[in-house]
A and B are shown apart, each in its own frame.
Chain A
């Protein structure tokens, strides 16, 4: 099967989520990578994509219309390309989730969202009901459109490939949507979805200041990314792109520290595939302890500073 994957990139670097997508696509057949973007950054990203192990060809579409990942423009670029491919795979990120269903509908196929595994050429597993059930589905469509859960597949190596880069052109700006601005919450920390260690805080942290005072030093000590429950985000302790859960980010780090998080099903959906889960909570009956490998019952306001100091 010939597969096309949409590469996500930033500042000329291919994002980790796209490396996992390459691994998933390789299970289906040959892998061609589409890099769409603007100017030099897109060119650099295409060269980086060409080096990814398993990528056989890179298509580079460089145009101002593709600089901001607008779904209208990118779907219009991808749909005609699909004449030559049996499958399109995108990472299940905010970009992939935005674009892939638009392509699927144009191709008149049902998308398979957020796959966890490839069971056969047309058979995949995916989570439903906030990860409380796993469905195995088989597609009967002529072409496959798939989004891939990044934490469920190993990342393809950034080295080892030497694919040719072919420049292509697309229909450009569709004229119905415009990028206005991006307010990023940039940080020096590891990215939440690819971090080895995640320290996450919940509502019990009281306010934004306390969250910063307790969680940040511990995360610094561990070189960890910071996450949060929905309750902590809704209470304004931290911006919403730190939210872990069904409606936020899905993470599966080696170690997940849940601090003052009760463990509602929506939160568990975002982190229960972590290798080791550690919970600190004053309520011994909190549901988080049912999934935690290591639990410590007690007052986080004493435990967290002590833990930070002793590490």
Chain B
């Protein structure tokens, strides 16, 4: 079966975001960008399914600027077979992304779509669910284990009260949580080989999808700064402070 893996290029998770002084957004000029960590987990899971003989082809997709090619090359170096870049310079909201992905899924007919549960920039946690809705297919969100059995997939989900397992009919959409796997590093020979793998470039117009944003960002500000605290020198002082707060046994 074929697996489709959408990946997003985001501000590297180790970089502290800086809000632009004019409040128009977060400054992304000259900062390190990488693949969204949850998407790395999605790519890894797809590769593992291929290694188990469950999948025979992995197609990585990204929607974003020309530089998102680098993110796709990373996916190819990890083990994806080919890639599709839908090139667009503006930010596309989860709904727009889901619509483009639906069009690609209609063309490619993957049995499984594996993607991150959320991107660490907009923290929306929507795209996978929206794609499942548009395709009218079941969804296994926040997955910490995925098992494909014939025409079904069992997904163990990280929910607030513990771990829930659901069984979904294929085709299905799975979104990955942190503990699903430990993504591999691309080796140098694989990075070289990835340069020769096919990467097709498309535009949103090829899919006749309207990506005009529905939400207007009026401003982006720094979160409120906390007052500087005090350091205490001993447990006794800490106990006294706790008692002042009304926190006692």
Contacts and interface: CB of A to CB of B under 8 A. Distances in A.
> Do A and B originate from a single complex?
yes
Interface of A: 10, 70-72, 75, 93-95, 97-106, 108-114, 123, 127-141, 174-186, 193, 197, 221-223, 230, 233-234, 239-241, 246-247, 249, 254-255, 265-266, 272, 276-278, 289, 291-297, 303, 306-307, 310-311
Contacts, number: 250
B158 interface: yes
Given A133-B220, A254-B245, A110 B179 contact: no
A55 to B, nearest CB: 22
A146 B98 CA distance: 18
9 A-B pairs closest in CB distance: A101-B129, A105-B130, A105-B133, A110-B214, A101-B126, A184-B162, A293-B229, A129-B17, A180-B165
13 contacts: A70-B166, A100-B129, A108-B95, A110-B94, A133-B17, A133-B220, A230-B178, A246-B123, A247-B118, A247-B178, A293-B227, A294-B232, A295-B232
B23 to A, nearest CB: 9
A181 B164 contact: yes
A133 B214 contact: no
Interface in B231-247: 231-239, 241-242, 245, 247
B93 interface: yes
Nearest to B128: A101
B139 interface: yes
A286 to B, nearest CB: 12
A246 B13 CA distance: 12
Contacts of A94: 142, 157-160
Contacts of A97: 125, 129, 141
A217 B231 CA distance: 24
B160 A95 contact: yes
A188 to B, nearest CB: 14
Given A102-B132, A106-B133, A222-B247, A135 B219 contact: yes
B84 interface: no
Given A176-B168, A296-B238, A311-B248, A136 B124 contact: no
Nearest to A108: B95
Contact of A71 (B95, B129, B216, B217): B129
A71 B238 CA distance: 46
B138 A130 contact: no
A70 B166 CA distance: 9
Interface of B: 11, 13, 16-17, 19, 26, 93-95, 98, 118, 120-134, 137-139, 141-142, 144, 154, 157-169, 172, 177-179, 213-223, 226-227, 229-239, 241-242, 245, 247-249
Given A136-B217, A180-B165, A311-B242, 6 more contacts: A75-B133, A106-B133, A139-B216, A186-B161, A239-B162, A255-B245
Contact of A222 (B98, B130, B249): B249
Most chain B CB within a 10 A radius of its CB, from A101, A132, A133: A101
A134 B223 contact: yes
Given A139-B214, A241-B160, A132 B223 contact: yes
B214 to A, nearest CB: 4
Most chain B CB within a 10 A radius of its CB, from A113, A139, A185, A246: A113
B93 A136 contact: no
Contact of A240 (B169, B179, B237, B245): B179
A146 B227 CA distance: 31
Contacts of A254: 245, 247
A101 B217 contact: no
B123 A130 contact: yes
B219 A136 contact: yes
A119 B162 CA distance: 34
Most chain B CB within a 10 A radius of its CB, from A71, A254, A291, A292: A71
Nearest to A98: B141
B17 A292 contact: no
Contacts of A246: 120, 123
Given A110-B95, A296-B235, A182 B219 contact: no
A182 B120 contact: no
Contacts of B220: 128, 133-136
B17 A182 contact: no
Contacts of A222: 247, 249
Most chain B CB within a 10 A radius of its CB, from A70, A129, A176, A303: A129
Contacts of A110: 93-95, 213-215
A291 B167 contact: no
A98 B157 CA distance: 11
Nearest to B233: A296
A294 B229 contact: yes
Nearest to B221: A134
A307 B239 CA distance: 7
Most chain B CB within a 10 A radius of its CB, from A105, A127, A291: A105
Contacts of A72: 138-139
A234 to B, nearest CB: 7
Contacts of A70: 166
Contact of A133 (B131, B165, B178, B222): B222
